[in-house]
């Protein structure tokens, strides 16, 4: 039986959803990912991971999959043809409209599953606003958090800077949709000069504004030549397991002070 909310008929809403149902909203992006990956990379990953965790654990945790949001905050890639992006103001307005609509359902639990690091800060703002405006219980999940969005530093061949179109994203798409990847055009694009900095760098305590074109002409930040489908399969398994653990807590979370 489908656990896609959009597949339900209107009379089924009160029959199948309850106060502890969890709405899972995949959030992706349509943006350049270098010469070797498709524009849909972030959307593909968010949508596929959400589908897998709902398929595997939907009955257990009462998960409901929402249609993905494809156009989001991607202006760091606006220089590249094919990138389709919303302004911060527009995206926040869209998220507010979505939240207002979902607040009519029997559940108040909404989990954003974000596949694009450029959305992180705005989704955190939206979490608070949807709570205060519409009474939703809101959560922000990441399959993995890149270093430019506060993720842990990595000691690897990408010098902790594989944040866009690098080893891991390329590995995941090689696993999920190898037909969309052109590894003959993959090339290393790690901003190695930044590695010597301690404060102003990815993962440092002094964030900085950037576009992908500031870091490499290809728009890649990382080393896709290190990618493999085998690594991608392992990453996907780990991400689904992590999302399952997170959603299990979302499904039972309660505020200390009752409303």
Q: Which residues contact 56 (CB under 8 A, 6 or more apart)?
A: 240, 244
Q: What is the CATH number of the domain that holds 101?
A: 3.40.50.10310
Q: Is 11 part of a structural domain of the chain?
A: no
Q: How far apart are alpha carbons 45 and 213 in whole angstroms?
A: 23
Q: How far apart are alpha carbons 111 and 197 in whole angstroms?
A: 35
**Cβ neighbours of 245 (radius 10 Å):** 11
How many domains, in total, are found in the chain? Answer: 1
Q: Is 225 part of a structural domain of the chain?
A: yes
- Give the structural domain span for 104: 21-247
* Span 164-180, pLDDT tens digits: 999 999 999 999 999 99
Judge whether residue 155 has pLDDT over 70.
no
Distances (CA, A) of 22 to 60, 107, 122: 11, 7, 21
Q: Is 53 part of a structural domain of the chain?
A: yes
Q: Is 5 part of a structural domain of the chain?
A: no
Strand partners, 39: none
pLDDT tier at 193, thresholds 50, 70, 90: confident
Q: Is 7 part of a structural domain of the chain?
A: no
In three-state form (DSSP H/G/I as H, E/B as E, the rest C), the secondary structure along 188-240 is CECCHHHHHCCCCCCCCCCCCCCCHHHHCCCCCEECHHHCCHHHHHHHHHHHH
* Span 77-118, pLDDT tens digits: 999 999 999 999 999 999 999 999 999 999 999 999 999 999
Closest to 226 measured CA to CA, from 161, 179, 176: 161
Q: Is 16 part of a structural domain of the chain?
A: no
Q: Is 13 part of a structural domain of the chain?
A: no
Largest CA distance in the chain: 60
Assessment of whether the complete model's pTM goes beyond 0.85:
yes
Q: Which residues contact 106 (CB under 8 A, 6 or more apart)?
A: 13, 14, 17, 18, 19, 21
Do 240 and 141 meet the contact criterion of CB atoms below 8 Å apart? no
Q: Is 152 part of a structural domain of the chain?
A: yes
């Amino acid at each position: 039986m489908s656990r896609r909310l959009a597949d339900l008929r209107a009379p089924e809403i009160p029959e199948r959803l309850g106060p502890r149902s969890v709405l899972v909203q995949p959030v992706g992006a349509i943006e350049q990912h270098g010469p070797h990956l498709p524009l849909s990379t972030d959307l593909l990953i968010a949508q596929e991971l959400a589908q897998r965790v709902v398929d595997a654990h939907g009955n257990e945790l009462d998960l409901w999959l929402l249609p993905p949001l494809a156009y989001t905050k991607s202006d760091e890639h606006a220089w590249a043809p094919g990138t389709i992006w919303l302004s911060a103001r527009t995206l926040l307005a869209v998220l507010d409209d979505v939240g207002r609509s979902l607040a009519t359902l029997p559940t108040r639990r909404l989990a954003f599953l974000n596949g694009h690091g450029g959305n992180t800060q705005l989704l955190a703002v939206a979490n608070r606003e949807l709570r205060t405006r519409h009474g939703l219980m809101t959560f922000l999940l990441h399959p993995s958090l890149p270093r430019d969005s506060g993720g842990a530093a990595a000691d690897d061949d990408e010098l902790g800077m594989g944040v866009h179109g690098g080893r891991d994203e390329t590995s995941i798409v090689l696993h999920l949709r190898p037909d969309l990847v052109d590894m003959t055009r993959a090339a290393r694009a790690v901003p190695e000069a930044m590695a010597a900095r301690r404060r102003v760098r990815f993962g440092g305590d002094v964030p900085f504004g950037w576009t992908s074109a500031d870091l490499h002409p290809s728009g890649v930040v990382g080393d896709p030549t290190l990618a493999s489908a085998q690594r991608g399969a392992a990453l996907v398994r780990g991400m689904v397991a992590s999302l399952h653990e997170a959603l299990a807590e979302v499904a039972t979370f309660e505020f200390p002070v009752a409303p």
